[in-house]
Amino acid sequence: MVLSTRPLNVLTLFWSLSSRAHAALTTVTGWGDNPTRLTMAISLPANVAERPAVVLALHTCGGTGQQYYQMANYDSYAAREDFIAIYPSTPNDSNCWDVASKASLTHDGGGDSTSLVRMVKYVIDKYNGDPTKVYVTGASSGCMMTNVLMAAYPDVFAAGSCYSGVPANCLAGSPGSSPVSADPTCANGQNIKSGEEWAALAKAMYPRYSGNYPRMQTIHGTADSFVHYKNFGEQLKLWSTLLDVEFTRNVTDTPQRGYTTMVYGDGTQMVGISAAGVGHIVPPIPALDMAWFGLG
């Protein structure tokens, strides 16, 4: 497969079809050093809890935070569970998160990943957020960045849940991270490594870290030819190695018909969900994400 601009047009249509009537997000400025010119918006529940959880929600290539807010539809959960959701946007590289540069693939390296963590820390400080209940989610490019953040900042995030992405470092060294700028090897499912090799690359992103890694839930469609389904297997290799869990069983037609949940260990640390016949991207399932985060 050769990458083209067509998927960006498809995503634009997807955004328009998934749009709903939502209140506007609150734009935040002055949240910290911002070398990659990201913008930050948040969704606050009517009554912020004393120690709210924080959810970082990351848009696809060609998207914005406002569009992912419409797509993810977390508001009803935020109102009930009293968490604060952050919806950042990137203006760079066709609105794709940087998951390729050394800066973004390094803990405190000064790239997109560092700026996103600064947003999280700003919310924790301003709203007395619970630092043990910080979660990350996203789709496509947002799932790629979810993998990066969980590997580079395992001391910040408790868990991640994401759709149609690739493992951290899959695009390392690529000239860009978008369909028009990236080396296509990763998206084509041709960057194949062992779990130990992926884990070594992830650990090198934050070599001083010796603690546990965040819990992972990743979802991918079997008919995805844009971010090839093989990348689902590579994510499973990476996170099963980092979390030291092995595949134990499949649960069919879960969380919905045609989806298979692949359970690792006892299922509390890692699951993979294979969506039969689904292309790019798997539509986010808010109840699934919230349950994984313990917020549903």
Q: What is the pLDDT of residue 12?
A: 45
> Domain extents for the chain?
6-285+287-291
Question: What is the average pLDDT value for the chain, to the nearest integer?
Answer: 93
* Residue 98: how many other CB atoms lie within 10 Å: 25
Q: What angle is formed at CA 135 by the lines to CA 131 and CA 137, rounded to 5 degrees?
A: 160
Active-site annotation holder among 140, 164, 177, 274: 140
Q: How confident is the model at residue 22 (pLDDT cuts 50, 70, 90)?
A: very low
The answer to whether the CB of 19 falls within 8 A of the CB of 193 is no
Task: Report the Cα 230 to chain-centroid distance in Å.
Answer: 18
User: Which 3 state secondary structure label does DSSP give 289?
Assistant: helix
How confident is the model over 54-77, as pLDDT tens digits? Answer: 999 999 999 999 999 999 999 989
Say whether pLDDT at 18 is over 90: no
The rounded distance, in Å, linking the Cα atoms of 134 and 113 is 15
pTM of full prediction above 0.85: yes
Structure tokens at 99: 């998951």
Say whether pLDDT at 117 is over 60: yes
Give the full edge-to-edge strand order of the sheet including 53-58. Answer: 26-28, 40-43, 83-86, 53-58, 134-139, 159-163, 215-221, 270-275, 259-264, 247-252
**Residue 54: which H helix or E strand, with range?**
strand 53-58
Whose structure tokens read 């508001």?
75
H helices within the chain, ranges in order? 6-18, 65-72, 75-81, 112-127, 141-152, 195-204, 230-243, 286-293
Per-residue pLDDT averaged across 18-35, rounded? 77
Distances (CA, A) of 178 to 5, 53, 71, 149: 9, 31, 20, 18
101 is catalytic: no
Q: Which residues pair with 263 in a beta bridge?
A: 249, 271
How confident is the model over 243-282, as pLDDT tens digits? Answer: 999 999 999 999 999 999 999 999 999 999 999 999 999 9
The rounded distance, in Å, linking the Cα atoms of 120 and 161 is 17
How confident is the model over 237-251, as pLDDT tens digits? Answer: 999 999 999 999 999
Q: What is the pLDDT of residue 21?
A: 41
Q: What is the pLDDT of residue 24?
A: 66
Q: What is the pLDDT of residue 90?
A: 99
Q: What is the pLDDT of residue 288?
A: 98
Class of domain 6-285+287-291: alpha beta
How confident is the model over 181-226, as pLDDT tens digits? Answer: 999 999 999 999 999 999 999 999 999 999 999 999 999 999 999 9
